[in-house]
Structure 1
């Protein structure tokens, strides 16, 4: 199963985690009903699926009133749990972030505004990734003590999932920003996957301490220094192949490197899938073998289906923003909603805020204890 991209995949199992345990009772989600390649049809059908499986949840749908009302007429579970707020404006999928920031009153803008106003616990959108990040950052701002937000992806591993960040929000990141990402990634892994003490790795060209450029080595020095006080389980450097093998639970990198790694893994997964399909249809004997192995192949297909793993999270904002894949279907959007429900019902925001405050104190103490530069007399 390929890791899921910066425009919206998290990890298989998030949906199951969010359902059947009463955590959605009284929960309100704000929905950008007009964002995505197949909006509003796929979006509202996803809301209906989630509403059916989580009868205690409520939804604020932002979009064209007439279009949404027509669809809701055939979706009873969504209709009974939703409030429609009309807006005629949308953010096109090809819009530049700067354009989206200047255009108030869109379905995306209003959906985020509902979270800012405290009306909803999280916003879910399948719209333009760059625009969503820009508008969310403008309205919600970053958490105190944080340099920049980040986008997560979740890699499947033999033992579960590995949280990787950043995968596209920042082209470059300095050592202190990478430490911030580690703080957020650890809290995210605890909240979404129930890990008690996630192991953290820093992506590098080798696992040896002497490898990598100056910034990455400095980031590891700071991560070990601050991590000791913050009780972080810092493993050390990891390489690209270590992500899929699950050597650590969290892998920290800059958005440029993370996005390339992500897209490379996705391409490799698609190639393997194509090779497998070609092999299984290459001869009558191969097709007969595929028929005998159909049960296992169905499981493999399900694990590789993007609809079963959807919901990227913008970490570090003063509010929960969940990004669904732009081409999602109904099931995929329902899964993205489940990620939002899971995080909203967890202590994720509190954990990150507390750790960032502690990190700020540790940084201040480290700076105050640093030796002053020696000035030679002339």
Structure 2
């Protein structure tokens, strides 16, 4: 299998991207890598060319650029060239830590949607921070690919998340939940009420009802479905709260005197365990599910460990053929019809 890598995308590119790719290459003897990037910046950083090829590009899409315009005008950029390699069958998956909008645009306009998928969903694997359950993580989508969604989009997200949980997370019968502003079935706006009913009435889905943002990480479901706007807002609020709590703890230790520092030393193993559970680098990147091939975007701040773990995620996707199953399903299933959604945008 071959992965096309945008070597120029990310805050620490190309150094950390290449370092992470080489670590993953040493772990997986069945993967080859094509690195797309500027010759003079990338070539000196490659320590071992085994199963790793540099394909020189002359343009880079920066983090602040307008995504669609950049995709259309910078044809020799690392993002466009890597996505095009997947489209042409020269690579099996596309990986980047670069401009999120540009990666999404390249996935949509170059790699292309699966027939039957109206809108792909940006999909993350998040940790379950609940010591009373053995569940370690869950699938969460859409985390921001679509600012506006229709009912049928969220039903499709449920199926996309179900296949991903079954194939990649090895959950036999995934529990599906809907992110909403209350646990009761009559909560939410008109669209969320309609989605609740559609998911509830679908015998192929193990729907367990609504889940509130306050309980997002407690393990109530294996797949949490949401529209992109709400999903992105809830995810950022959760990440921001976690960072603030860690900052407050660190400040308290540093300014709490000798007793606080001694307490930290005694609890250091506990803090390390929490860091393992909540560390974003441990869970790979966000997958744009609903495309014809894996397109995976990791954090712009990712370093080598995060890159390596994201490639492990791609390896699992390719090995389990989760995209193939998605193509098969949406090629034969009757898609749910839109219910009246005249009051909704999009």
* 2:100 corresponds to: 129
Cα offset, 1:191, TM superposition? 2.1
Cα offset, 1:242, TM superposition? 2.6
Cα offset, 1:300, TM superposition? 2.3
Conservation of the 8 A alpha-carbon contact between 1:61 and 1:83: yes
Conservation of the 8 A alpha-carbon contact between 1:322 and 1:339: no
Conservation of the 8 A alpha-carbon contact between 1:178 and 1:252: yes
4+ runs of 1 displaced by more than 4 Å?
Answer: none
Q: State TM-score, norm by structure 2.
A: 0.91
Conservation of the 8 A alpha-carbon contact between 2:61 and 2:79: yes
Cα offset, 1:239, TM superposition? 1.4
Cα offset, 1:358, TM superposition? 4.1
* 2:176 corresponds to: 200
Conservation of the 8 A alpha-carbon contact between 1:162 and 1:243: no
| 1:148 has 2:119 as partner | yes
Cα offset, 1:189, TM superposition? 1.3
Structure-1 separation of matches of 2:280 and 2:220: 24
| 1:333 has 2:312 as partner | no
Structure-2 separation of matches of 1:261 and 1:29: 31
| 1:168 has 2:168 as partner | no
Structure-2 separation of matches of 1:50 and 1:347: 19
Conservation of the 8 A alpha-carbon contact between 2:8 and 2:14: yes
Conservation of the 8 A alpha-carbon contact between 2:292 and 2:327: no
Partner of 1:193, secondary structure, is coil
Q: Deviations over 1:346-367 (max 9, x none)?
A: 13112222332343x2647x99
Structure-2 separation of matches of 1:56 and 1:210: 50
Structure-2 separation of matches of 1:247 and 1:289: 33
| 1:323 has 2:293 as partner | no
Conservation of the 8 A alpha-carbon contact between 2:125 and 2:284: no
| 1:217 has 2:193 as partner | yes
- Measured on the aligned residues, the alpha-carbon RMSD in Å equals 1.8
| 1:291 has 2:261 as partner | no
* 2:205 corresponds to: 232
| 1:91 has 2:61 as partner | yes
Conservation of the 8 A alpha-carbon contact between 1:97 and 1:130: yes
Conservation of the 8 A alpha-carbon contact between 1:204 and 1:216: yes
Cα offset, 1:44, TM superposition? 0.6
Q: Deviations over 1:78-119 (max 9, x none)?
A: x21211111111111111112222121211111111111222
Cα offset, 1:166, TM superposition? 0.7
Partner of 1:314, secondary structure, is strand
Partner of 1:187, secondary structure, is helix
Q: State TM-score, norm by structure 1.
A: 0.84
- The count of residues paired between Structure 1 and Structure 2 equals 332
Q: Deviations over 1:6-64 (max 9, x none)?
A: xxxxxxxxxxxxxxxxxxxxx21111111111111111111111112223321111111
Alignment of 1:1-378 (within 5 A): 27-72=1-46, 75-76=47-48, 79-102=49-72, 103-157=74-128, 158=130, 159-225=135-201, 227-228=202-203, 231-281=204-254, 282-359=256-333, 361=334, 363=336
Cα offset, 1:206, TM superposition? 1.4
* 1:371 corresponds to: none
Conservation of the 8 A alpha-carbon contact between 1:112 and 1:136: yes
Structure-1 separation of matches of 2:78 and 2:138: 32
Partner of 1:247, secondary structure, is coil
Conservation of the 8 A alpha-carbon contact between 1:155 and 1:243: no
Conservation of the 8 A alpha-carbon contact between 2:183 and 2:209: yes
Higher RCO structure (Cα 8 Å, ≥6 apart): 1
Residues 108 and 162 of structure 1: is their aligned pair in 2 closer, same or farther, counting only changes over 3 Å?
A: same
* 1:375 corresponds to: none
* 2:344 corresponds to: none
